[in-house]
Chains A and B, each alone.
Chain A
């Protein structure tokens, strides 16, 4: 199993540009999450999904959109990038079988908006 994979690893955007951060998991987890992490801070939830076709907002959804057409993929779309979106973005999936409730994180995407 590759676990949770994210692309790209790094990206520099200009203000006003758009991009999609890709996230794929091969563990057949229903739950998937997008977080952002600013320097010295914890993880802030952007959006999450409890299964294909179902998404919901987290704490900081403004400026982002998501879709979940398959169990495996959960892309995050940034429209009209702003400097405030400079951050490290982590995708995660959750194993809620067997009572473990473990979240597995991807390696992250480091995004800079100039």
Chain B
């Protein structure tokens, strides 16, 4: 089983709609979870971190964490063309000084 899985293919959403991204992880003791955004040809940048079960909102972004089910999700409300990017889910492996990354989900916002 992969440490972090993002299985959805490219996601196309109309401008103003909600984009929903999901991620599952295998390490049951992980406590720290992150979403990175990566524009084409650029480096990843952190947009959300979440450490407790439930929702965390930051502007148009909401991260949701369910440790019992081992999944973390990202919602992008009122999607804008500038949100078109690849979104990488990352999980900090406890007892380990590293992050495990999913392969990413591409989001395309259609004007």
Contacts and interface: CB of A to CB of B under 8 A. Distances in A.
Interface of A: 31, 33, 35, 40-43, 45, 48, 50, 56, 58, 90, 100-108
Interface string B91-111: 010000111011110000000
A-B pairs with the 6 shortest C-beta distances? A105-B43, A42-B103, A42-B101, A43-B101, A41-B103, A105-B44
A103 B99 contact: yes
B80 interface: no
30 contacts: A33-B98, A35-B101, A40-B103, A41-B103, A41-B104, A42-B4, A42-B6, A42-B103, A42-B104, A43-B88, A45-B98, A45-B99, A90-B43, A90-B44, A100-B49, A101-B32, A101-B34, A101-B49, A101-B92, A103-B46, A103-B90, A103-B99, A104-B46, A105-B43, A105-B44, A105-B45, A106-B43, A107-B42, A107-B43, A108-B43
Contacts of B44: 43, 90, 105
B95 to A, nearest CB: 13
Contacts of B98: 33, 45, 48, 58
Interface residues of B, number: 20
Given A101-B32, A102-B46, A50 B97 contact: yes
A5 B98 CA distance: 20
Nearest to A108: B43
A45 B42 CA distance: 18
Contacts of B46: 102-104
Task: Indicate the member of A43, A48, A103 with the most B CB atoms within 10 Å.
Answer: A43
Contacts of A103: 34, 46, 90, 99
A108 B102 CA distance: 19
